[in-house]
Structure 1
């Protein structure tokens, strides 16, 4: 039972729950980025470079089975037939996915850092603006000292 109690404490910690939420949001964000890449960005890149479909770029490594009747340029069919291939077009798509995620995370962290710096700067300004109350006796003594300095200078 102590192990179960310890596990309950571990799960109940805020960090574990925050991490779980972060993983779920990350998975959902990953799907959005994949859709953005496959359905928006890669078609635009393909259009710019002459209707290139990066997902069909591959290098065939193995022999094509004698029973295969499909196209020799159809990556999905060749893969389904068990032909050994390097699908570097899909790799290019995944690199674009990674770069999009990295850019979004960079912009997010950058924005958060700027907000933190702004809050810290405002806090420093607020701390500097707070003036300690002056003791009236101390103020009177400072005035006397200043008067004494003026009379000696004359």
Structure 2
């Protein structure tokens, strides 16, 4: 029974919940970055490099059966091993964009943390000597 209790305490800690929310948001954000790369960036890069479609760049590593279309999808369906480096290029660009966005977010968060004023340290509690001196001043004023 203690293992279940320990797991429950672990699972409801704030850090675990925050991590779960971060993973969910990260997955959704990853889809946005995939779309930006596939739909906006790679077509422009392909245009610059002569209308090159990176997603269809590959090398067939095996014997291509007769009558098989010369596309990556057709070769994969036919069971031909392919070295799909175009897909890797697309994924690498996705990663670089995502890493850059995260870098900029962390940089901004760190800048905002530095701008917040530091809280003033609480005044130290008076020592016994301070109290004696204050009493002495008070007594001298009474005279």
Q: TM-score range by the shorter chain?
A: 0.7 to 0.9
The aligned residue for residue 71 of structure 1 is 69
Q: What is the Cα-based RMSD across aligned positions, in Å?
A: 1.9
Matched-pair contact (CA < 8 Å) for 2:68–2:78: no
TM-superposed CA distance for 1:49, in Å, is 1.6
CA distance in 1, matches of 2:113, 2:20: 25
1:91 paired with 2:88, answer: yes
1:113 paired with 2:113, answer: no
Structure of larger gyration radius: 1
**Contiguous gaps of at least 5 residues in structure 1:** 129-154
TM-score scaled to structure 1, two decimals?
0.74
TM-score scaled to structure 2, two decimals?
0.80
1:6-64 per-residue CA deviation (whole Å, 9 max, x = no partner) reads 11111110000000001101111111111111111101111122211001111111111
User: Structure 1 residue aligned with 2:77, among 76, 80, 105?
Assistant: 80
Aligned to 1:50, what secondary structure does the other structure show? coil
CA distance in 2, matches of 1:80, 1:54: 19
The aligned residue for residue 30 of structure 2 is 30
TM-superposed CA distance for 1:65, in Å, is 2.6
How many residues are aligned here?
A: 123
Aligned to 1:43, what secondary structure does the other structure show? helix
**Contiguous gaps of at least 5 residues in structure 2:** 122-143
TM-superposed CA distance for 1:71, in Å, is 2.1
Structure ranking higher in helix proportion: 1
The aligned residue for residue 44 of structure 2 is 44
CA distance in 1, matches of 2:96, 2:6: 40
1:2 paired with 2:2, answer: yes
